[in-house]
C-alpha cells in the first residue's frame, strides 16, 4: 500500500516516535493525542480494517494486543489504560490500516461518550 501513512511509518519512510518494535508490530506516539499517553499499535502487514482480517491474521492481531500490554508497562500505566480499535469511518477510523489506540495517564469514564 504505497500511499498508506501507517505502512510508511512501519517501513521507516515517515519518522515517528516509536516506543515498541518487533518484526511484526510497531508502536508509536500519536501526533494528536486524546490522553496524556496515546500510542498507536500497528501491524507491519497492511490490513485496512478489522473487517478485512482473515483467519490467518489471528496470531498477528493477538500480537497487537500483547504489544499494547507491553507498551502500557513500558510507559508505567500502572493505574490503568484503555485499548481501543475503531472499525470503519462510522466508528471513527480515519486511517485505514488496522491499529490499536493505547490511552492512559488520566481517568476514563464508561460509557466512553
Bin 45: left if φ > 0, else alpha if -120 < ψ < 50, else beta: beta
38 classed as catalytic = no
Which residue is catalytic, options 38, 46, 97, 99? Answer: 99
Please give the Cα distance from 28 to 6 (Å, whole number). 10
The catalytic residues are 99
Amino acid at each position: 500500500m504505497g500511499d498508506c501513512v501507517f505502512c510508511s511509518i512501519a517501513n521507516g519512510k515517515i519518522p515517528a516516535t516509536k516506543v515498541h518494535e518487533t518484526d511484526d508490530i510497531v508502536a508509536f506516539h500519536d501526533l494528536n493525542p486524546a490522553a496524556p499517553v496515546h500510542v498507536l499499535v500497528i501491524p507491519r502487514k497492511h490490513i485496512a480494517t478489522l473487517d478485512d482480517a482473515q483467519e490467518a491474521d489471528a496470531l498477528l492481531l493477538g500480537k497487537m494486543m500483547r504489544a499494547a500490554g507491553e507498551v502500557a508497562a513500558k510507559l508505567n500505566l500502572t493505574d490503568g489504560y484503555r485499548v481501543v480499535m475503531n472499525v470503519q469511518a462510522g466508528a471513527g477510523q480515519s486511517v485505514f490500516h488496522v491499529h490499536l489506540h493505547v490511552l492512559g495517564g488520566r481517568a476514563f469514564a464508561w460509557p466512553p461518550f
